[in-house]
Each structure stands twice: as structure tokens, then as C-alpha cells.
Amino acid sequence: MGQPFARAADRLLARLLGPGQDRLCLDLGCGGGVQAATLTGLDWRLIGVDISTRQIDLARRRGLTAVVASAERFPLADQSVDAAATIMTTTDFDALPPVFTEAHRVLRPGGRLVVIAAHPASAAPSSNATTGAPAPSTPATASIGASNNAPCSVTGSAPASGPSTSPCLSC
Ligand SMILES: C[S@@+](CC[C@H](N)C(=O)[O-])C[C@H]1O[C@@H](n2cnc3c(N)ncnc32)[C@H](O)[C@@H]1O
């Protein structure tokens, strides 16, 4: 992940998750744990989950508590975490619904899932007809409030259009 993109992702995590106050957050598809410092810096206790043993080794070397498991099924109890984030993983996961279902299972009522991904429009190969310079890539997000007592809502933030809210497609 490039530096500007990583910094944009850091800002989005701060905005959408806010201060952790020592609560528990999952990083689903954590890779080598590059976002760990941001999340622990926001005072979240963090557990990384990744299917790759090699990536988890890297994440652990960065000091992250991390487990090798699929984001579709990991060994945590129902309603045991306060938040979950998944960053630049939507093109890597085989399917998103099982990941969102699993996140919903482990989130406490009122918990939040933050999804940060590259929006296809902002990942267009070139936007400058004169120089041919590539368009700057900006992450898009969906922050899904997961409550077991009320319908979810999805707050989307695409770079060009700004925040919008729509009903959760899985409810
Ligand atoms: C592009 S990397 C992003 C890593 C990290 N989130 C970051 O922002 O640097 C995608 C990660 O998803 C992991 N992954 C792919 N399928 C997975 C699955 N089913 N469960 C958990 N992790 C998965 C890969 O091993 C890889 O580390």
C-alpha cells in the first residue's frame, strides 16, 4: 500500500472508529499488521486475523496479537469484540457475505465494522490527459453499525461524493 493511501486509511480509521478506550478491535485480513500502530495508537486493543501464516509471522514481529484463521470463521466467542476493521481486503477475500456474517456474530450490540477499500472510480489508471499521470488513489469506506436488536445501517464514504447513508443490504 502506498504512503498517501496508507495515510488516508489511517485518517479514515481515526474518523470511523474513534478512540478505543482500551476496547477490543479485530483487524480482519491484517496482513503484516501495517495498520496496527494506527489502531493501537487510537487506544484500541487489537487482534489481527489473517489466513496467511507468513503474514501473521510478520504481524507478530510488529508486536500484534494475531491468529492464523479465515475471516469467514475465527475462534472468538459471540458478541465478544467492540469493533472490527478490514482494510484493502475486499479483492482478496473469496466472498464478502461470510466475512460480514462472521463479523456480525462476534460484534457486541452497537459494535462497528469498518471496511476500507479502493473505490473502482478512484483506481482508474489515468486521469490527466496531458501528462498521463495516474489518478491519485483514495480509499472508500463502508462503516456498518452491527446491532443484534436493530437493522444495520451502512454509511458509505466515496471520495468524490462524500458520506451517504443507505439501508444495509444484508438486512
Ligand atoms: C492486500 S492484503 C491487506 C493487508 C492489510 N489489511 C493491509 O492493509 O496492509 C490482503 C490480506 O488478506 C488476507 N486474506 C485473504 N483471504 C483471507 C481470508 N479468507 N481470511 C483472512 N485473511 C485473508 C491475505 O492473506 C492478505 O494478508
Whether residue 129 lies inside any domain: the answer is: no
Question: How far does residue 132's CA lie from ligand 1's centre (Å)?
Answer: 31
Looking at the CA of residue 49, tell me the nearest atom of ligand 1.
21
Closest protein CA for atom 4 of ligand 1? 31
Mean per-residue pLDDT, 20-43: 96
Whether residue 15 lies inside any domain: the answer is: yes
Does residue 33 carry a pLDDT above 80?
yes
Q: Is 70 in the pocket of ligand 1 (CB under 6 A)?
A: yes
More confident residue, 40 or 4: 40
Does residue 158 carry a pLDDT above 60?
no
Give me the domain span that covers residue 139.
3-124+135-167
Mean per-residue pLDDT, 6-32: 95
CATH number for position 147: 3.40.50.150
Q: Is 82 in the pocket of ligand 1 (CB under 6 A)?
A: no
Whether residue 130 lies inside any domain: the answer is: no
Does residue 80 carry a pLDDT above 60?
yes
Per residue, what are the HEC states of 40-55?
Answer: HHCCCEEEEEECCHHH
Whether residue 20 lies inside any domain: the answer is: yes
Q: Is 79 in the pocket of ligand 1 (CB under 6 A)?
A: no
The whole-number pLDDT of residue 56 equals 98
Whether residue 95 lies inside any domain: the answer is: yes
Q: Shortest CA distance to 85 belongs to which of 51, 58, 49?
A: 49
* Torsions phi, psi for 73 (to 5 deg): -160, 110
| SS3 category, 66 | strand
d(CA 146, CA 168): 10
What's the half-sphere exposure (Cβ side, CA atoms, 13 Å) at 135? 16
Tens digit of pLDDT for each residue in 97-127? 999 999 999 999 999 999 999 877 665 554 4
Whether residue 107 lies inside any domain: the answer is: yes
Query: Number of folded domains in the chain?
Result: 1
CB neighbours (10 Å) of residue 162? 8
Q: What angle do CA 142, 146, 67 make, to 5 degrees?
A: 80
